[in-house]
Structure 1
């Protein structure tokens, strides 16, 4: 999921649902939460735009 603020989004899901953080990059532009066998990944919107030729 592409988001405005990776750290705030991860903190919300940790607090609201108790999902533990798997990791986040030092640049705070990418991070993941653990949901049992599933991982939810978050990336900063400009990073998403850089990953697609026409942006998101």
Structure 2
């Protein structure tokens, strides 16, 4: 499956065209939480609501 097919599948599955940017503002991140853990938590919390992620 190529990228376009994966994107179309995710769009249909989640009924969404939303793309979440995974580029946190370091000054606003919770203290003691690393970028990787923060982004993983963001993905876990939104995976059923969006069709893509941007790094």
Structure with higher strand content = 1
Higher helix share: 2
Larger radius of gyration, structure 1 or 2?
A: 2
Please indicate, yes or no, whether the TM-score normalized by the shorter chain is above 0.5.
no
Structure-1-length-normalised TM-score: 0.30
Using the size of structure 2 for normalisation, the TM-score is 0.30
